[in-house]
Structure formats: C-alpha cells, structure tokens
Structure 1
C-alpha cells in the first residue's frame, strides 16, 4: 500500500523511531507498523495466536483500515510504552490532595499525555479554612496547574493538554466561566468602566514601544512582549475549560426560574442566581473566547458501567472520554474510506476490522505503561477502550449523500451502531476467553443495562444480556469518537472523524517555493477533474456553494463545514451519539457574525437531543488586532541617503523581482519594482484572500510605501522604520523571526537597499545570482486564499490551522494538538 508524501512526512516527523542523537532508526511505514504490531501481539499467550494476530494488525495498519492513536505509535516497544491519550485524575478539598494532583499532572504531562480534573471539588472563595482563614477558591488553584502545563512539556515535545471542569452549581462558577477572558474579568470587577475590546492590544503596543526605547534587540523585545502578554492578559492558556451542566440547571433555564449554587452548602457558602442569566454568561464567554465548553454531567453518568467507582466528574482534555478518577483510555480509529468498494460500503469487512481492533486495544492495556500506580491499578481494573472511526465526510461524498440530510445521519448512526454492537460482542468473547474486568461482578447489572441500550431489537437485547451473564465481558467501555488529526492524514481518510470536510480545494505552499492545489478526491472525480472549476472553488475559500458552473446536485452533496447549519451538525452528532458508548469530540464551527443567543440555542438543542457535550468555535474569537509599534533606535552618526530625487515618473515597463516570505498571517509575496540603478521604486504586497482584512492591509501598505519611494524617500529609511513592528502571530522563516507583515516587508526593502549600494560599487546583483524571479508590472499571479476560520499554523506558518473535533489541526502540514 502506497502512502502520500504528506503521510510519509508526518510519520517521519512524529512517529518513526529515532536514536538518542535524533537519527532515524525507522525509515519506512513497514518498520513503524512492525514495531507496533509486535508490541500489541505480545499480549497474546498462545504462540500461534500471537503470530496470527500480529499479521492481522500489521496488515490492517498497512492497508490503512485501522490506526492506533498517537501515544501508541510514539511509544510502542519503547522503554516507557505509554499508550493512552486520555487521563482523568482526582482532586479532593484539602491541600495534600491538591499537591498530589499537581504532582500526578506533572508526571502525566512528562509521560506524554493530557489530564482532566474537576476543580468544583474545592471549596469556594471565602469559605472557612484552618483556624480563622479563608479559601482563595478553586480558580486560584487552576493557575497552579496551568503553570505545571507551561513548565512541563507533554513527552518533552509539546505543551500538554489539560481539561479544567467545574460543576454548574459551584458558588464560584461565574468566576470560572470568565477565567480565560481578561477583559470580562476587568469589566466584572469594575462595573461601569468603559474598557474597549482592543484594550490588550493598545496596552501591549505601548509596552513594546517603551521596551524598544531602551533595548536595541528586536528579537528579545518581541519575546519579552509575548511573555508579558501571555502572563498578564491570556490567563490559563494551557487549559481547556468546561462547565459540568446538570439536568436540573437546564430545566431551570427552560422554566426561567432561579438556580441555587449549592455545591458546597456544607461549607456555609451558597448563592441563588437567575438560571437564564448564568446560561447567558456561558454563551457570552464561549462567543468571546471559545471557552467554556458544555458537558452534560447527568447524561454521562447515566451511561456509567462501573458506578461502584463513584461519580464521573470530568472528561479528558478533548471531551471524548468521560472517565472515573485515576483512569485512562487508549484509543484507535477505523478508516471508513477503504471499505468503499464499487460505489457501496462493505459492511462485512467493516465488522471484521471492528473485532480485530477491539482485541488490539484490549491487548494494549496489558502492554502499556502508566504515569502512576493509581492509573495503572484503576485502568486495568475496569479495562475501558475507545474505538472510533474517521473519514465519515469523505465516504458520504463517495456515496452521494449530503452530510446535512436525514440519509446522512442515518448512515452515520448505522456505522456507529455496527461499531458498538460488534465491539460489545467481541468484548463478550474476550471475557469468555481471557476473563472479565476485575470489578465486573460488582457492576454487572449497571453494565448490562448500558450495554443492551445500544441494541434496538428486544430479541437482541435479551440475547446480549444472556451472553454477558454466561460469559462475562472483558471491557467496561467500548467506543468513542476522538480527535484524529495526524492519524487521519496518515490514513488518507481526507476528513477527520465525524467532521464534515473543511475545504474542498485550497492552495498549499511547498517548501521549494511552489504551490500545490489540494482537491478532495471525491469532489475532483465528481467535477471530472475540471481544473477551472476547481480553481474557482479554491478561490472561494474551499466551498462550491456559490460557484457558477457547478451543477446543483453536486453542490447539494459537497458541502463543507461553513456551509452546514449548526442544527444539522447537532442532528448528526446526536444520531451518532445514540450508538457510541462514551462521548464524542467535535466542534461546531460558527461564522463571526453568529450571536450569543444563537449559541444559547445550540446548547439547548444539544441537551434536548441527548448529546453528552458540545463545543463551539466562532471564527475570530481568539484573534487580536495587530500591534502597530515602531522600533525606536539609538541614534548613530548620520547616514547619507542612498538616493534623494524629484518625484519619479514611472515608465511602462519596470524590472522586478518577487520575494516569498512566511509570516504568521500566511505566505507573503512581495513584488519589488526596480529602476535603472536597481533601486526599489515600487512595491506590491500580496497575501491571503482578495477582499479580506489582511489582504486590504497589505495592499494599502504597498501603496503607501510606493508613494514614498517615488517621491524621494530612501528605501533604507522606510525599511528601518517598519522592521521590528510586532504583530500577534510571529513565526520563523529560514531561521529568522518574522514579527509581522510590516516586519517582513521591511526586511525585503532592506535587502534591496543594500543590494542597490552594492550595485553602485560594481558588485554582483540579485539578477546575476538568479535568486528570485524577474517579473514585469503586467504579471498576474494568483494569491493564496484563506480557508474560512483558519489561523496560522505554529509549525508551518500557513493559514491552514482549523478547529475541528474540538482540536486544532493544520490542513497544510498535518500538525495537530491532539491525535
């Protein structure tokens, strides 16, 4: 089975084993999959079964039918084979427990995994503590755990993921809701104060300008300014936060009644609020910052198969796993695309893969290492697994079924039904063969009640109950839909998990300077590979909805995330959740203009349609206005101007060159027009989609600079005046820190200013070196186009980082914060 260049790049970057010096030990997918298959099959005690199963799991990975989650691919066969992505720890209302949880969290981060904790366990601010003291409240302790995440990278490679949860009836819930929104906190503490939304940007602009007055080191000032901003104005930046919303609260919202914040009534602290006002605050904060998410805690506990372990009070960082204290879950995903054969879905082969994957994930529990003894003991005691699927959106395209249709929901639900039912049946067989999980007997009745709920027919329900009672069952949980960012790209599933396609076509910038147009394969086939129409779709942000010339029947099927109404997204998630034993990680992407009231309606619909959780992401909610500070330099001896001239009369034809620069806002193309002395005289700046704010800013900057150049302002003075301006998305380009679009343009101008000086002394020119591409003023080249809702990727710098599956993933390079 061949793998795409992108898949091979991701495997090389993330998963191929390296020695201590960083040299690749594995160089092919076959070597990677052989290592993982050896690790997983080792749990089989029978030699013949071990050999057979190793071959099965190896070929399922090689054939792109199934893939383990990233921790298993990273660590299988290593010195510390951590294989779980999902961990939930425990907090109790005393200092010893808090410090133990912080230590456990640090160890979990160091091992390469994320953590979830419910801070609602801690007494509210102002409650009595010790002898005459008062508590600082749970939000204050959240900052401690945030610093743990800041200090300890996950597996030594990336910032760790953390979920902070709080019950809706906690007296400090309002402070929790706005704990990641600095402006909302200031407004709350200073009622009536006129604090503008761009207050942080204005303040940081002044800070940066002041620092630049005293420090003559652009990079140092940029880094220091970024750290100040993050420390002071971006609280809890290493955390996701969610509110554990109860059915009682949602009923109070529906009835427009008061709601008592009585989580710590025994501590003498309780308050009564208007339910709808509190509900509005949740939606408002999510509108502003995308936090908090909403988790329906009663629904999660309704499907608890091991209630003897106590109440489930948190999820993992991405929300797909509702877990008991000190438990974890290893994950894996089935790629739906390979099961499409001759225009139909191969359900028999799909069921076979589910059975193999269930056994494989169960084996991982025996072979894996865990961060602490508590996690080792509890996880092996209840043996949960998390099997899911990916590529749903692409398979719907291949079948000609619209994502936002009843038929689409029915197909997706049927896949989930087969997956969970087959996994439960396989787990029963494993229970008979290898034994049930340790506390099965204590929780048998609760487990049977949950397990049979995923079967619709009364005869099937009775059959499953009988099979469990006679054979036991190996695992306490079976299915979930988790983030699949990196592994979906390896598998060529083209879409993530249950998510719709984000863009049907878009331009991807290559490291060699070229531009590749990515096209969804099913869409390309439907258009008959019509390059002109495909380019129009790419220029339309990846959607074909408003593109002339595309038949309506194609438009109806090939919808992308921003074409789909939020109610249709909720219907799809609800249809799937009906047959998924744990939860689903999914994000509803919303346009900038969505209202707070519409977000409230999303939460109501999610609760009424029996979702276990819901996360929204409004375009632009985490973006900031660019800072516009000018670097002030110490005055050196006066420098002679390179050229001072009368207003320049532009000829019809200019020599020119294009310089490509990677910026935090996307790839920048700076076209420099040169006069007869190779002096910059005109500049055109192209970036992003035509008509966007970024594009208009770049165009205006180019026009203003050109006016200056053509009226005698030396190019080196213009360069010095804009180099060092700091934006909100600095990035690296060929070893140099690019702070903003003006900073990038200033560097280009400085390059040509210095080159003109060299030319005046008879030195070699850029033309002679062939370093850039000469163009005339008549050239017409296409601009890279923004994908709606995309931001700059921290890995490759392209404007291709999208929020999907409750996780940030890059459509360009494959970077993912999750799996």
Structure 2
C-alpha cells in the first residue's frame, strides 16, 4: 500500500473506515482497500474471470492511490449496505403521491450515501388550481423546501448530510421565484442542501439572439400564460449567481444531443454537482484517476495511463454488478444503461510535472490531448467488456455505433474527498494555494508536496516561507519564489474566467457525461461579468456552468477565504455551494 499523509488518515478515519455500534473505528486503511478490492473482484466469477488476479490488481490500483472510486464504493463495498453509486436522478410528477414518493426515495438514497437530482418543471405553478380540493397550488419552490427539510434530517450513510440538485425549466411560470430564492430570502439556510440550475433550451437562446420574447407555459395545461424577455431573465440569473452562487445553468439541448439512449427518454436533470446528466431513476458509479501518479516526473506515462483506464472501467463495471440499489426502479434503469463515470484528479499536479502553467494555451491543448486518450481507451475497455460479457441492454436502440458494455464511460467529478485521500489537486481545477487550512473535519492542513519538493531542490525552501504563504490566495507577489515556479503554482484566483471555461470545454469535448467545474470570480466582479460567463458557456457548447464570486452569500468550506471550492470536502460529489 502507498503511504497516506495525515490529511488522508483523518479523512478516512472520520468518514470511510468501518465502525462498530459505538462508533469506534474497527478497520485500517489497508483493510478498507482489501475489503473494496475483494468485493468488486467477486463480480468476475459471473463471467468466468480470474477473481484472485483481479482482486490483486484492484487492490494495487486503489491502495497505491492511482485510482479511487466514489465515496459510497469505498464506504459500502463488502458491507451490509452494499450501495456503491454516488449519483441519482429521481422523477417528480405533478401529484402529491409522486412528490412524496420522491421524498421517500430521496431519503433512502441519502441514507445509503448517494446524492440526488430532480427536475421540478412538471409541477404546476404557485397559485394554480388544485381540482381535487378546490385549493391553490403552492408551486415547485415550496415543495423543494420539503425535500430540503427531509435531507437535513438524514445524514448520508449516517456520516454526512445529503446533497441535491434542483432544476427548473426557464419556461416555467415560477422561474423568477426559483432564480431568486437564495439571494432574496433573508434566511441564509434556505435550500441549503440544494444546488440550483436553470434549464435552458434552444427556444430561449434563439429568442435571446433575435431580441425577441419567449413563451412561459403552464406545465399542467400546456397553455401559454405570458411571454418573457430572455435578456431580463438572464440578468436575473446573473444577479442571483453574483449574490449567492446560485443558480447555475444547464443547456438541455446540448445535453440531449449527446444523450446515449434517447429512446428511453429526454434528460431533464443532473446529479448534485452537475457532472452526470441522467434520465429518471438512472444512477452512476464514479471513479477518478490520479494523474499525478501517471508521469515520470517530466512526461506522461501513457502506457501506465492506458492500463489504469482499462482497469478502472472494469472496476466500475464490476461495481454495477455488485451494487444493491435502494429503489427497484433504479435497479431496472441501471441494468438497462450501465452508465459509468470515469474521470480524473490531480490535473494541475500533472501540469507541474510537465512544466506547463495552468493559465496557458498549452494547458488547453494538453487537456484536449489527455482527455482524447482517456476517452478512447475507456471506450475500448467498454467494448472489450461487451465482448466478454454482453452490451448494455439498451444498446441496440442507442446512439452508440458498436456494442459497448456501458452507455457512458467518462465524467469529470469534483473529487472533493478522494483527492484529499490521494493527496492530489482536485479534479481539473487549479489549486487553492500551496499551503492553507481547509475548514472541514476540525481543520485540515494542506501543503502542496510538489511545491515543497521544487522549493527544496531549488534551495529556496524554509519553514518561514511556508508559514508566510499559508492562507494566501496567490504566490505571484512573493519575491523569494522564482518566476518560473510561480507560473507552475497559479491558483484559482490567478486564472481568468475565460480560461476556466476553455479548460472545461477542452475536457467536455471528450467526456460522455459532463464536467463539474466552477468559474471563480474576484469579489470585484460585476453582474455583467457573471452574465458574460453564462453567454460564453453557451457559445462553447458546455452542458452546464457554475459561477462563484468571492464573497458571495453561500457558506464556504475554506472558512475565511472567499474562494468557492468544487466540493464541500466531506465527499466527492456533495453539493459544491453549501457546507
């Protein structure tokens, strides 16, 4: 097993290692890795595979921190719970029965360690008629507060609070109330367990481009109730995102253009962090490759990366076989599509090894090259598994040309906790800083190992320097650090918004699902700056976008720092806009 630093040990002991009834930790990290590898390798027996050899390979990959699956797999594999997926989408139809069925299913998913997304666009608007009672409907936002309250009472797997994504279509009559719910409400805790996204379609953007109005439609009757100005709506979204970090935006036409199984329905929602657009009752098991472990210190080790991609796809496909899902409808949908989400973490670590500054044209070009390779190899691995096992059942009517085991193979997730375990930079994000305190689990002291190594090799390391850098949001103004080193350790504050978008777009081009990425803006940013990002994200054919301005209203995981991180740090998919 590879060595774990103190941060990894803390995270594992607080969140992942098995406990007895008194809450005492009863397994070591090495035993956890063995538990997970043994459980996932058992799936090989169903297909005539070599269980023992596969277990050894799985154990080596995860214990060396070359690859880690999403949190529920680490927590639950080989236990009584055995629910291994992180990402779920549930349907919410326009009836009390459907709404409260979804609340119940949400509770079961959160209890087992998953996060949930919903489209509330089918619910009749506030003030609409309720024929059965002669009463008046309370609208989507009111019902979202019920989901939020239920989530607040249920810690995921007994260890964490749940996370949700709430989506409302831009044509819904309550869209203005939805947009403003977090920024207008005097209660900072309103929908604290929700991320929000406005779902936009081609009609909205066509109206915007032609300086025309668009139709607002009652979902109960299908009737046009009024027309709205898309520019004014976009202004409202931008103002709310500037104020509170919510809502983000989904581009449903782009999402559905790449929907691998359109015969099964139209995608209307995503998981809590937006990286997995899913049909109702779909689930996805995620995992991420630690890119920093796939260089020789100067160049990419492409052969090792290829091997890890193939092993990771097998690992995640086995996880589908071994997972027990809390709702029968989910089991049915997962069996049909076998959606996987293999992504990466440690992207900036790899850039440091390659001596590429994050804010550079080379990074955009390299992101394209890297994700092309991972995408192609993941599909090759899925095709091989289809040959060994059989394609996913919905394959014949899907958009996939050749037989594949999985409807999707790639995703870019936030990797909040698993990047802490792996001691690497999170996801494809630039680092927060080279030394800081992360305000979760009593405070975690984060120090960038690569910076320490370079500073030591170059002779400018000192304890005083690290102390001076602690908590800074940039090192670009520190005289003791050579200029070429400063460039390699650019932080999220040093990277302009348009470059964040271009990096996201470079990855999205080669990702089946979607990319969870935050565009960080300085406190001085204007509402127009936020609006420009939404417009650029649409122009770049992204599937979704999150904008966070320093000092915005939402609680922030880094304590006094105004920077928003992708993830709350308690898990690798939990809502990025709340603690």
Q: TM-score, normalised by structure 1?
A: 0.66
1:282 counterpart residue number: 237
1:319 Cα offset (Å): 0.6
1:48 Cα offset (Å): 5.9
1:554 Cα offset (Å): 2.7
Retained in 1: the 8 A contact 2:440–2:557?
no
Once the two structures are superposed, residues 412-468 of structure 1 have per-residue CA deviations (whole angstroms, 9 ceiling, x without a partner) of 22221111111111111111110111121222xx223xxxxxxxxxxxxxxxxxxx2
1:501 counterpart residue number: 431
Paired residue secondary structure (2:400): helix
Bigger shift: 267-276 or 381-390?
267-276
2:354 counterpart residue number: 399
The equivalent position to 2:183 in structure 1, one of 167, 181, 184, is 181
1:524 Cα offset (Å): 4.5
2:564 counterpart residue number: 803
Paired residue secondary structure (1:506): strand
1:167 counterpart residue number: 169
Paired residue secondary structure (2:121): helix
Please show how residues 505-544 of structure 1 align to structure 2 within 5 Å.
505-506=435-436, 518-522=447-451, 524-526=453-455, 528-531=458-461, 534-535=465-466, 538=469, 541-544=472-475
Retained in 1: the 8 A contact 2:557–2:569?
no
2:400 counterpart residue number: 447
1:22 Cα offset (Å): 2.1
Cα gap change, 1:616 to 1:529, in 2 (>3 Å): farther
1:407 Cα offset (Å): 0.8
The equivalent position to 2:494 in structure 1, one of 554, 560, 563, is 563
- CA separation in 2, counterparts of 1:86 and 1:416? 22
2:43 counterpart residue number: 43
Aligned residue pair count? 571
1:98 Cα offset (Å): 1.5
1:10 counterpart residue number: 11
Retained in 1: the 8 A contact 2:433–2:471?
no
**Superposition RMSD in Å:** 2.6
Retained in 1: the 8 A contact 2:517–2:545?
yes
1:618 Cα offset (Å): 1.2
Cα gap change, 1:292 to 1:529, in 2 (>3 Å): farther
1:303 Cα offset (Å): 0.5
- CA separation in 2, counterparts of 1:526 and 1:108? 46
1:90 counterpart residue number: 91
Please show how residues 742-757 of structure 1 align to structure 2 within 5 Å.
none
1:536 Cα offset (Å): 7.7
Please show how residues 270-309 of structure 1 align to structure 2 within 5 Å.
270-309=225-264
- CA separation in 2, counterparts of 1:400 and 1:598? 31
1:485 Cα offset (Å): 1.4
Paired residue secondary structure (1:178): helix
Bigger shift: 587-596 or 565-574?
587-596
Cα gap change, 1:415 to 1:23, in 2 (>3 Å): same
Cα gap change, 1:335 to 1:251, in 2 (>3 Å): same
Retained in 1: the 8 A contact 2:550–2:564?
no
- CA separation in 2, counterparts of 1:540 and 1:33? 33
Cα gap change, 1:257 to 1:373, in 2 (>3 Å): same
Give unpaired runs (5+ residues) of structure 2: none
Cα gap change, 1:817 to 1:268, in 2 (>3 Å): closer
Cα gap change, 1:168 to 1:588, in 2 (>3 Å): same
- CA separation in 2, counterparts of 1:75 and 1:801? 34
1:149 Cα offset (Å): 1.0
1:592 and 2:547 are equivalent in the alignment: no
- CA separation in 1, counterparts of 2:445 and 2:172? 51
1:516 Cα offset (Å): 6.8
Retained in 2: the 8 A contact 1:510–1:516?
no
- CA separation in 2, counterparts of 1:64 and 1:340? 14
The equivalent position to 1:423 in structure 2, one of 372, 378, 391, is 378
Retained in 2: the 8 A contact 1:536–1:547?
no
Please show how residues 239-258 of structure 1 align to structure 2 within 5 Å.
239-258=194-213
- CA separation in 2, counterparts of 1:510 and 1:75? 22
- CA separation in 2, counterparts of 1:171 and 1:512? 44
- CA separation in 2, counterparts of 1:510 and 1:577? 30
1:717 counterpart residue number: none
1:579 and 2:510 are equivalent in the alignment: yes
Cα gap change, 1:126 to 1:516, in 2 (>3 Å): closer
- CA separation in 1, counterparts of 2:158 and 2:175? 33
- CA separation in 2, counterparts of 1:809 and 1:80? 22
Please show how residues 733-772 of structure 1 align to structure 2 within 5 Å.
none
Cα gap change, 1:818 to 1:240, in 2 (>3 Å): closer
1:55 and 2:56 are equivalent in the alignment: yes
Paired residue secondary structure (1:485): coil
1:21 Cα offset (Å): 2.4
Retained in 2: the 8 A contact 1:330–1:364?
yes
Please show how residues 141-290 of structure 1 align to structure 2 within 5 Å.
141-183=143-185, 232=187, 234-262=189-217, 264=219, 266-268=221-223, 270-290=225-245
Retained in 2: the 8 A contact 1:124–1:269?
no
1:102 Cα offset (Å): 1.6
Cα gap change, 1:800 to 1:67, in 2 (>3 Å): farther
Paired residue secondary structure (2:388): helix
- CA separation in 2, counterparts of 1:605 and 1:547? 33
- CA separation in 1, counterparts of 2:437 and 2:194? 32
The equivalent position to 1:622 in structure 2, one of 550, 553, 561, is 553
Cα gap change, 1:178 to 1:54, in 2 (>3 Å): same
- CA separation in 2, counterparts of 1:575 and 1:623? 29
Cα gap change, 1:383 to 1:516, in 2 (>3 Å): closer
The equivalent position to 2:405 in structure 1, one of 474, 499, 515, is 474
